Amino acid sequence: MYRRKVLTAGLVTILAAATMAGCSGSKDPAAPESGEASGTEGADSTTPVTFSYFLFAQGKKDVLASETTIGKELQKQTGVDFKLQYLVGDSATKAGVMIASGDYPDVISSSGEMAKLMDAGVYIPLDELIEKYGPNIKRVYEPYFDKMKAKDGKIYTLPFTANQGYTAEPDIGSGAFWIQRSVLKEFGYPKITTLDEYFELLKKYKEKYPKVDGKETIGFTISAGVTNNFFTLQNPAMHLAGYPNDGAVIVDMKTNEAKIVAGTDYQKRWIKKLNEMNAAGLFDPESFTMNKDQYLAKLTSGRVLGYFNYAWQVGDASNNLKKAGVDEKRYAPLPIVFDKGIKDQYIDPPGFVNNYGVGITVNAKDPVRIIKYFDNMLKEENQILLSWGIKDQTYSVDEKGRFYYKDDQSKYHEDPELNRKFGFAYFGYDWPRYGSNSVLKDGNAFAPSNQPEVATKLYTDGDKKILEAYGAKTFSDYFNKPDERKWFPAWSINIPQGSPEQIFTTKSDDLQKKYLSKLILESQDTFETTWKEYINELNKLDKKVYEDTITKAVKDRVAGKW
């Protein structure tokens, strides 16, 4: 259970978080075999060079960075290009094969596989490189250095959530229960807050419109069949109970004690509701077998009435629907909870994720050229390039210095093909960067989606109708503001590979994958029997060792110890 975009990001369930244990296999960047000798000699060189960069992220085609506008500009500045290679298939399998062979690219963005990579000694320490060649890295990350260091006191990766100041998101970029706008319009934009109300509305609409373009209307779907996306089935239980995405646990605000979500009454209530919806013909049985392309295709087909997911996971579908101008078939976020009176916490509080990051590997040909590229990337003008693009082409600046979209400049961000061609799709995450909630030195939001002038300009008439009905100016206005959680997110707490805690999470996850789909798709008559079987198996695992470890880490973070 995690989000790759902290987005961004979520982001991708991390039940086994990454270790920061020291890596005896890591090479000293000062050693000749690390490639620093050649890099030092050409430290200021712009001689063309291409490095390999593997990203544990799916959904993008392999590409040379220079084939994008952003990558080409950065290449002009540095002489450096990257061959970007993306994950196909299972991330754990890919990491295992990579480690077994010792065949590492120059750079790896770890996503949820940092623990394995760190244990295998894949990354070199960056401390000396940063000190010698990274003034901008120090400017951006130094306030977070204490949270980035491994147990050996060294820094191996650069995370993606180093916020420079903080600005809230005007729209929902994280998790929510989403509903097709035609459903809201059909019933006069009702204000619904509970899970029962949500499904009752979907049911009424499907009964009235059983087919769309000759195909059966789908009441509710979920992306549990997509590789590494099973958390989209697990996470709703905590959100419905009024908790944010802390991964495998919910954390008590008063005691700071962490409790596993799996097997709780919260999970049972959520899964049983899906079982009822399946019996009523509202649940999509392909939720456990679809790949990502099939899932996104369903969302753009107009047949799906509702789903749970994180906004960053469905960006292409959302953009394609908006581009097609079918406003009523787009989706609106709702802060659904189990019962009235529960305070929703879908919007993430400020946090820092230290176990998702990018690092230079022991096989890197020239660590100095790479670290200098990263440092150059972190200049504020280049962070603006990565996020906003080029002035007067992809954004404009008014007389007060405020960034906004003029005419059709938003197309570079909304049109999937233009987004990829310009490079926003490739440079929006998985690189050393400001955190998504950052504020630029001139007061503009780092992320265009967080700039009020952008959010309101891009609203369609349909958007405005929903906001008016709910008495809001932006979509986040009708969600509750997040409570402060100094530990957030708990899923970023480091758990060593092979530890009892990590073994518990792996086995717990396997059990949930085995039983939750069965519990949803089987007859209502057998639900209680199967649930007891699931709980019996879950109780054989040592969940206490995991809960105790996360509780201690949460309390340490609250005390200022990371």
Per-residue pLDDT for 18 more than 60?
A: no
Predicted pLDDT at 457: 82
Domain that holds residue 139: 1-174+352-405+427-432
Q: What is the torsion angle, in degrees rounded to the nearest 10, for the CA atoms of residue 106, residue 108, residue 114 and residue 115?
A: -30
| Nearest-angstrom CA–CA distance, 535 and 528 | 10
Establish if 392 belongs to a structural domain.
yes
What's the gap between Cα 482 and its chain centre? 18
Place of tokens 């320490």: 125
Q: What are phi and psi of 552, to 5 degrees?
A: -60, -45
In the chain, the N- to C-terminal Cα span, in Å, equals: 21
| Nearest-angstrom CA–CA distance, 90 and 12 | 12
Q: Are 108 and 117 in contact (CB under 8 A)?
A: yes
Predicted pLDDT at 163: 95
Residue 53 and residue 149 in one domain: yes
Examine the fold and report which residue of 385, 416, 432 is the final residue of a domain before the chain moves on: 432
Residue 391 and residue 531 in one domain: no
| Percentage of the chain exceeding pLDDT 70 | 92
Q: Are 456 and 100 in contact (CB under 8 A)?
A: no
Predicted pLDDT at 13: 34
Predicted pLDDT at 89: 86
Examine the fold and report which residue of 432, 450, 471 is the final residue of a domain before the chain moves on: 432
Residue 150 and residue 9 in one domain: yes
Q: Are 34 and 362 in contact (CB under 8 A)?
A: yes
Establish if 522 belongs to a structural domain.
yes
Establish if 111 belongs to a structural domain.
yes
Establish if 364 belongs to a structural domain.
yes
Residue 16 and residue 158 in one domain: yes
Q: Are 21 and 151 in contact (CB under 8 A)?
A: yes
Question: What total number of domains does the chain contain?
Answer: 2
| Nearest-angstrom CA–CA distance, 8 and 160 | 9
pLDDT tens for 137-176 read 999 999 999 999 998 999 999 999 999 999 988 999 889 9
Residue 13 and residue 156 in one domain: yes
Establish if 161 belongs to a structural domain.
yes
Establish if 280 belongs to a structural domain.
no
pLDDT tens for 198-207 read 999 999 999 9
Residue 155 and residue 20 in one domain: yes
Residue 560's pLDDT band (cuts 50, 70, 90): confident
Residue 6's pLDDT band (cuts 50, 70, 90): very low
Name 297's Cβ contacts closer than 8 Å, sequence gap at least 6: none
Mean pLDDT (the chain) is 90
Residue 509's pLDDT band (cuts 50, 70, 90): very high
Q: Are 114 and 355 in contact (CB under 8 A)?
A: yes
Residue 44's pLDDT band (cuts 50, 70, 90): low
Provide the 3-class DSSP secondary structure of residue 278.
Answer: helix
Which CATH number does the domain housing residue 381 bear? 3.40.190.10
Predicted pLDDT at 390: 98
Per-residue pLDDT for 229 more than 60?
A: yes
Establish if 315 belongs to a structural domain.
no
Residue 149 and residue 43 in one domain: yes
Residue 506 and residue 385 in one domain: no
C-alpha closest to that of 322 among 527, 168, 133, 181: 181
Predicted pLDDT at 512: 98
Per-residue pLDDT for 258 more than 60?
A: yes
Entry pTM:
0.80
| Nearest-angstrom CA–CA distance, 479 and 359 | 36
Place of tokens 């994958």: 513
Residue 387 and residue 494 in one domain: no
Per-residue pLDDT for 91 more than 50?
A: yes
Q: Are 419 and 316 in contact (CB under 8 A)?
A: no
Q: What is the torsion angle, in degrees rounded to the nearest 10, for the CA atoms of residue 431, residue 557, residue 511 and residue 19?
A: 50
Q: Are 15 and 489 in contact (CB under 8 A)?
A: no
Provide the 3-class DSSP secondary structure of residue 461.
Answer: helix
Name 369's Cβ contacts closer than 8 Å, sequence gap at least 6: 39, 42, 43, 45, 49, 51, 78, 79, 80
| Percentage of the chain exceeding pLDDT 90 | 80
Predicted pLDDT at 331: 97
Mean pLDDT of 463-467: 94
Per-residue pLDDT for 208 more than 90?
A: yes
Predicted pLDDT at 36: 33
Residue 499 and residue 398 in one domain: no
Predicted pLDDT at 472: 95
Examine the fold and report which residue of 432, 448, 477 is the final residue of a domain before the chain moves on: 432
Residue 47's pLDDT band (cuts 50, 70, 90): very high
C-alpha closest to that of 171 among 477, 382, 410: 477
Establish if 92 belongs to a structural domain.
yes
Q: Give the pair of three-digit tokens for residue 541.
A: 């695992």
Per-residue pLDDT for 550 more than 70?
A: yes
Per-residue pLDDT for 43 more than 60?
A: no
Q: What are phi and psi of 403, to 5 degrees?
A: -80, 140
Residue 513 and residue 387 in one domain: no
pLDDT tens for 364-418 read 999 999 999 999 999 999 999 999 999 999 999 999 999 999 999 999 988 989 9
